Amino acid sequence: MPKGILERLTQGPVLGDGGYLLELEKRGYVQAGPFTPEVVIEHPDALAQLHREFLRAGAEVLQTMTFYASDDKLATVGLEGTVDEINRNAVRIAREVAAEGDALVAGNLSLTWAYDPADAASADHVRALLDRQLRDQLDAGPPDFWIGETFSYLGEALLFVERAKATGLPVMVTMSFEELPAKSYEGDTPGECAKRLADAGADIVGVNCLNGPTQQLPIAAEMVQAVGGSVPVAAQPVAYATTNQEPDFTSSPGFPYGLSAITLSRGDLAGFAAGARDAGVRYIGSCCGSVAEHVRAMAKVLGKARVQEREWRSRNGKVMSAYEYREHTETEV
């Protein structure tokens, strides 16, 4: 039986997977704009293939393709009747691929766009949306643990922790920050968010999405300092170049169709993985824009490469590839 996420984290950093929605949009299986995950039921083989690429690259966790798989969000594209099918099938697909390696399955939930701190009734509505996804994924799996992600409101993140903890599975929750200095929509710093979420019972806290590695690593390091080792910290940046002036890649004029011009190299993500490890981050993953080549480079830096490469050399003593001739390396970390 595979070791659980919390046991693995006590033994060293755990490597997460990469981004799903934007990559599947590039491949023609997800519609840009709503970014809803009907690919789960319309093209399950395409999703399984991406899971498999991340697994082969070295990911130790596969997240279910259930970001935006809540009733309100699916209703925007006329798919409100598919909530149960999408959530259940996503767990089955991830579980089937994870069984090909020693990988865990994380049931994924996200912001709902329904939370409004000025409307007391919205909290119960968000609870209902989350509960439905949690119930569906439990029925189909269950997953090994939960990941709630991309929360800008600390209040909504706390609602996720409340509902997910009630299932008895380990809970990871990550905030997203649109501007620098980083703060939740309510005005909480990353450190304050981490402490509040940990105090609420989250087993892993952290930051994900929106920011590239340069902007996100200091945020994660602040969280590490804030919780002081009481809970592991996670960081999953996007594989796009962001700046201190524009730390949110979705605010770029090129989002989502012109992002290729700001896509980071595999070495950039490898450098992030090394820096995150050295900063005490325990769950090291990546988000939008990160594909197998990025995860593979991160795996090599963290000593988690799944596929061992053959040794090779010329038999006549002369170089036989430009790679050797130019003395290239995959990363310079």
Q: What is the pLDDT of residues 298-316, one digit of tens each?
A: 999 999 988 777 787 778 8
State in Å, rounded, how far the first CA of the chain is from the last one: 34
Angular region, 145: left φ>0, alpha ψ -120 to 50, beta rest: beta
232, 283 Cβ separation under 8 angstroms? yes
One-letter-per-residue 3-state SS of 109-165: EECCCCCCCCCHHHHHHHHHHHHHHHHHHHHHCCCCEEEEEEECCHHHHHHHHHHHH
Q: Assess if residue 333 is contained within a domain.
A: no
Q: What pLDDT shows up at residue 333?
A: 45
Q: By percentage, how much of the chain surpasses pLDDT 90?
A: 90
- Choose among 47, 25, 26, 49: nearest CA to 36: 25
- When pLDDT is cut at 50, 70 and 90, the band that residue 328 belongs to is confident
What pairs with residue 173 in β-bridges?
Answer: 148, 205
- 0.85 exceeded by pTM: yes
Q: Assess if residue 276 is contained within a domain.
A: yes
Q: Assess if residue 330 is contained within a domain.
A: no
Please give the tally of structural domains in the chain: 1
Q: Assess if residue 205 is contained within a domain.
A: yes
Q: Mind listing the pLDDT tens digit for each residue in 158-200?
A: 999 999 999 999 999 999 999 999 999 999 999 999 999 999 9
Q: Mind listing the pLDDT tens digit for each residue in 10-29?
A: 999 999 999 999 999 999 99
**The CATH number of the domain where 298 resides is what?**
3.20.20.330
175, 149 Cβ separation under 8 angstroms? no
Give how far Cα 65 sits from Cα of 30, 48, 53, 93, Å.
11, 10, 14, 9
Q: What pLDDT shows up at residue 317?
A: 79
Structural domain range at position 288: 5-325
Q: What pLDDT shows up at residue 321?
A: 83
